[in-house]
Amino acid sequence: MDVKLLPGNDERIELALDEIRELEDVGFIDGDLPVRPIDKNHVEQLAASGLTGIPPLEVVKTASGYGLIDGRHRREAARVLKRAKILVHVGTYANEDAVIEAAFRANLTHGLKASMEDRIAYARWLYDNFDLSQADMAKKLGVSQPTVSRIIRTFEKQDDEEQQVTSTARNDEEREYNLVQADYAKKLQKALEKFFENERAFFSLNATGKRNEDKRARVLVAIAGDDKEQAEMYESLARSFVQAANMIRLKNR
């Protein structure tokens, strides 16, 4: 859906925590890209401070509600403290790209130290949406130009691999299907990465341990209930994952 941005008028107001939604949930197509996994230790540190002296959360006002640009750890700490509301700054943004850029910039400029994965996610968004020179991209990312060159070569390799996925298509319909599936596969991979990162952050789990796999299975059962179609989907996806893992291992021999 299209996002209808509303003026924020540079206000500072208190909002109920449940009123502050993720950017993706208020309609931003790329709203999930700047989102980092929650760091449990950082949340605990913020909660222990009583959130004293912290800056307000940064939000954008839309026709679908308030979208969170910056402050996910502060919001989680407020929940730990059982706060009903939290102070926010409602900014005014020219367009959707300005909002996404602000979210990426926030990750780089304060809070938890930005990882290289954070910078690569920002770089991919810039690479896909803007015609920037490597020097300009390096300045935005806070890295050297040779680093940007290496990152872009990785993107080009990924794009070539995606092209190979579509090159085997027998017609336009199959080519479109392959492109859509490749896009969904990327989103699935990113969702799984976040799943494991959050799992490790909150429970200090080893992702490959049998005990943890059993625990994960019970969570999936709780979500699916007795839905047979869900069970068949899990089985089919599991077979695809095993096949993909074997193919990756072969490539690395």
* Predicted structure pTM score: 0.71
| pLDDT greater at residue 48 or residue 175 | 48
Q: Tens digit of pLDDT for each residue in 223-245?
A: 888 888 888 888 998 898 888 88
pLDDT at 244: 85
The DSSP code for 56 is P
Q: Tens digit of pLDDT for each residue in 103-131?
A: 999 999 888 889 999 999 999 999 999 99
Q: Give the pLDDT band of residue 148 (cuts 50, 70, 90).
A: very high
Cα 72 to chain centroid, rounded = 12
Q: Tens digit of pLDDT for each residue in 194-212?
A: 777 666 665 555 555 666 7
Q: Do 123 and 105 contact (CB within 8 A), yes or no?
A: no
The DSSP code for 19 is G
What the block records as the tokens of 95 is 């367009």
Distance CA 178, CA 111 (A): 39
Over 74-94, what HEC string results? HHHHHHHCCCCEEEEEEECCC
| pLDDT greater at residue 5 or residue 246 | 5
Coil, helix or strand for 57?
A: strand
Distance CA 156, CA 99 (A): 26
Q: Where are the beta strands (DSSP E) in the chain?
A: 5-6, 11-16, 20-22, 57-62, 65-70, 85-91
Residues near 92 by beta carbon (within 8 Å), at least 6 away in sequence: 7, 8, 9, 10
pLDDT at 221: 86
Residues near 95 by beta carbon (within 8 Å), at least 6 away in sequence: 5
